[in-house]
A = this chain, B = another copy of it.
Amino acid sequence: MSSDTIDRVVELLATLPTIGRKTARRLAFHLLRQPTESVQAFTDAITLMRANVRECSVCQTFTDREVCAICASEQRDRSTICVVEEPSDVMAIERSGDFRGVYHVLHGVLNPLDGVGPDDIRLRELMARLGAVQELILALNPNVEGEVTTQYIAKMTAPLGIRVTRIARGVPVGADLEFADDATLARALEGRVPV
């Protein structure tokens, strides 16, 4: 068998994270077995998502709207901002169900070795939000870059007299926040300590 159009799809699928060539082939063959309408619905959903989803003008997370549902909600406490690396971290903490404040998504962490400096992540946008904020909870991944970024934000915000905390190191060291279980995340939030 040889098919350039299948090869092309396999090649593109294999560029996705966690997808190797064997899985890519399996996915391509799966798509070939689906009705054309299902495959169309699938590609349409992706196209729609890429076209409609933008960053919330307040917290920078991914959203369909100008301001995300959390930032727009009357139920959330705007005096507490939880700072995370990625939009997926917002989803993870929301699933833990305990946090009633709002978020700020950095879209990255400081990484001098990779050339990621303060202007490359959403630190300016964070500073601009701190007017009426009482507590900043730093919930970055428990690794070197997360630690560097935590310390940087603590120093940067020190003159403002805001309470700056970090989530407890109940999150396993070296793990990805996104994959922590709900109970661990809830505990980590609960056990936050001053930086």
Contacts and interface: CB of A to CB of B under 8 A. Distances in A.
B45 A50 contact: no
Q: Say whether chain A's binding surface is mostly helix, strand, loop, or mixed.
A: helix
A41 interface: yes
Given A26-B17, A91-B1, A47 B51 contact: no
Q: Considering residues A22, A40, A62, which has the most beta carbons from chain B within 10 angstroms of its beta carbon?
A: A62
Contacts of A6: 49, 53, 62, 64
Interface string A35-57: 01001111111111111110010
Nearest to A71: B1
Interface residues of A, number: 57
Interface of A: 1-6, 8-9, 12, 16-19, 22-23, 25-32, 34, 36, 39-53, 56, 61-64, 68-70, 86-88, 90-91, 94, 103, 178-179
